[in-house]
């Protein structure tokens, strides 16, 4: 009998220990069972826009590693899923579908180009997944788009950028303006907008010329603009190779007017491609690795420590997109969905990133960034130099 009672006591003790152990599990299991914050990168890692897409990816990766090392976002680790759209809008739409359906992302950073974002926008709307668009293309955040509620910019839009560029270009009294633009949504949108602005500001568009993104010989375009005898030339080009081709052709073709370029050409690839022909070209920048702010120096350290060489403003746009998502996610209790994240991002105001200034988003404003963060610079001796 004593032996039987002893066995029962041992069994009871074992059961009690088991229950105690089980009771201790929920906190640990709960911490481990938090779903990761799955983010898609829909970027141009090949093709003409790769000089933007690769730095965008690099910045998101190094910043995600830093956030994860510090405990993640409310205990959730960031999980990145990357799709190269090859600077092809059709691939952008395909990539958005794959990232959402197969990889289960709740937000997307991309596409690198405005055309890619416009192609992926309907997919984002269908599956209710917000996109952080690193583009200035005017149409991207047009409220005429049915997918408007799901697209947010990570930079000033081209309504802001284009007017700022024109105002700076004519501030010295220029009255005759020529335009060279790339043949895509970004180039056409901004060229059309410049024509509207010119009428309001009493300046004349004396000539326009357009070329495909992959064009390498634009000498005929330069001659057309030169013969119109403009005071200034505005380059509405985001691809560094095309911008550099125009700079070289302008030098060779005797185009003596002051050339102004958009912030998209604030890349080392543009400096290296244009060489001495780029000297004196003026450009409003939101990121200058030749003269970074203290905050931007922090981002540089992260990139260099990871073996990455800062290239231009792509790093700024990618990191801004990630910070928009993570700051929005911090506001969400429980499960994170695309719809909840969209709503949370619309409440971000005073958002600090590695950019100068701060952003403010709302339901009626998905552009966020003001013109004040742009600093007029010029190309001098292989660097971008701030103009006083």
Residue 293: its pLDDT value, please?
A: 86
In a domain, 192, yes or no: yes
Structural domain count, the chain: 2
Residue 7 lies in a domain: no
Same domain for 168 and 271, yes or no, is yes
Q: Of 308, 368, 320, 381, nearest to 140 (Cα)?
A: 368
* pLDDT of the residue at 12: 52
Q: Mark whether 266 and 280 lie in a shared domain.
A: yes
- Domain CATH number, residue 139: 3.40.50.2300
Average pLDDT in the chain: 90
- Residue-wise pLDDT for 80-123, tens only, equals 999 999 999 999 999 999 999 999 999 999 999 999 999 999 99
The band of 33, judged by pLDDT with boundaries at 50, 70 and 90, is low
pLDDT at site 160: 87
DSSP secondary-structure letter at 112?
S
- Within-domain flag for 181: yes
Residues 167, 145 within the same domain: no
Same domain, 118 and 175: no
Whether residue 42 is found in the same domain as residue 151: yes
Q: Are residues 216 and 330 in the same domain?
A: no
Does a structural domain hold residue 109? yes
Q: Are residues 138 and 254 in the same domain?
A: no
Asked whether residue 211 falls in the same domain as residue 249, the answer is: yes
Lowest mean pLDDT among 29-33, 65-69, 245-249, 259-263: 29-33
Final residue of a structural domain among 285, 318, 342: 285
Same domain, 316 and 276: no
Print the domain residue range for 184. 159-285
- 113 and 190 housed in the same domain: no
Residue 21's pLDDT band (cuts 50, 70, 90) = very low
* Residue 304 counted as domain residue: yes
Q: What is the full DSSP assignment across 228-295?
A: T--SEEEEE---HHHHHHHHHHHHHTT--SEEE--GGG-SHHHHHHHGGGGTT-EEEES--TTS--HH
Percentage of the chain lying above the pLDDT 70 cut = 91
SS3 (DSSP) at 135? coil
Task: Give domain status of residue 179, yes or no.
Answer: yes
- 198 and 263 in a single domain? The answer is yes
Residue 212 has pLDDT above 90, yes or no: yes
Rounded to an integer, what distance in angstroms lies between the CA atom of residue 174 and that of residue 349?
38
Classify residue 332: in a domain, yes or no.
Answer: yes
What distance in Å separates the CA atoms of residue 324 and residue 321, rounded to the nearest whole number? 5
Q: Rounded to whole angstroms, how far apart are CA atoms 227 and 237?
A: 21
- Does residue 377 lie in a domain region? no
pLDDT tier, 20 (very low <50, low <70, confident <90, very high otherwise): very low
Residue that finishes a domain, picked among 224, 256, 285: 285
Return the pLDDT at 238. 86
**Which domain-ending residue is among 263, 285, 307?**
285
User: Do both 274 and 297 map to the same domain?
Assistant: no
Strands 359-360 and 37-43: unpaired
């Amino acid at each position: 009998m004593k032996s039987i009672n002893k066995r029962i006591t041992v069994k009871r003790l074992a059961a009690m220990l088991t229950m105690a152990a089980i009771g201790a599990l929920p906190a640990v299991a709960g911490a481990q069972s938090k779903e990761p914050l799955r983010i898609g990168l829909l970027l141009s890692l090949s093709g003409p826009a790769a000089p933007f897409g690769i730095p965008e990816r690099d910045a998101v990766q190094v910043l995600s590693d830093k956030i994860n090392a510090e405990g993640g976002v409310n205990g959730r680790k960031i999980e990145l899923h990357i799709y190269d759209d090859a600077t092809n809008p059709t691939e952008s739409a395909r990539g958005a579908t794959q990232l959402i359906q197969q990889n289960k992302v709740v937000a997307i950073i991309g596409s690198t180009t405005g055309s890619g974002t416009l192609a992926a926008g309907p997919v984002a709307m269908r599956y209710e997944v917000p996109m952080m668009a690193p583009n200035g293309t005017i149409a991207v955040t047009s409220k005429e788009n049915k997918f408007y509620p799901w697209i947010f910019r990570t930079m000033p839009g081209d309504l802001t950028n284009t007017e700022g560029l024109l105002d700076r270009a004519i501030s010295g009294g220029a009255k005759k303006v020529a335009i060279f633009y790339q043949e895509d949504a970004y180039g056409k949108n901004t060229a059309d907008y410049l024509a509207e602005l010119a009428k309001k500001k009493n300046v004349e568009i004396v000539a326009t010329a357009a070329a495909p993104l992959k064009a390498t010989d634009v000498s005929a375009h330069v001659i057309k603009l030169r013969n119109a005898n403009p005071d200034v030339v505005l380059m509405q080009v985001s691809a560094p190779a095309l911008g550099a081709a125009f700079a070289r052709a302008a030098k060779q073709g005797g185009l003596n007017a002051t050339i102004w370029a958009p912030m998209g050409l604030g890349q080392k690839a543009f400096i290296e491609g244009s060489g001495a022909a780029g000297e004196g070209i003026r450009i409003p920048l939101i990121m200058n690795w030749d003269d970074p702010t203290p905050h931007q120096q922090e981002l540089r350290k992260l990139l260099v420590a990871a073996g990455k060489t800062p290239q231009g403003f792509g790093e700024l746009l990618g990191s801004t997109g990630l910070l928009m998502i993570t700051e929005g996610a911090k506001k969400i209790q429980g499960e994170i969905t695309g719809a909840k994240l969209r709503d949370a991002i619309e409440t971000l105001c005073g958002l600090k990133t590695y950019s100068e200034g701060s952003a403010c988003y709302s339901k009626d404003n998905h552009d966020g960034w003001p013109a004040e963060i742009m600093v007029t610079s010029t190309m001098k001796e292989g660097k971008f130099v701030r103009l006083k």
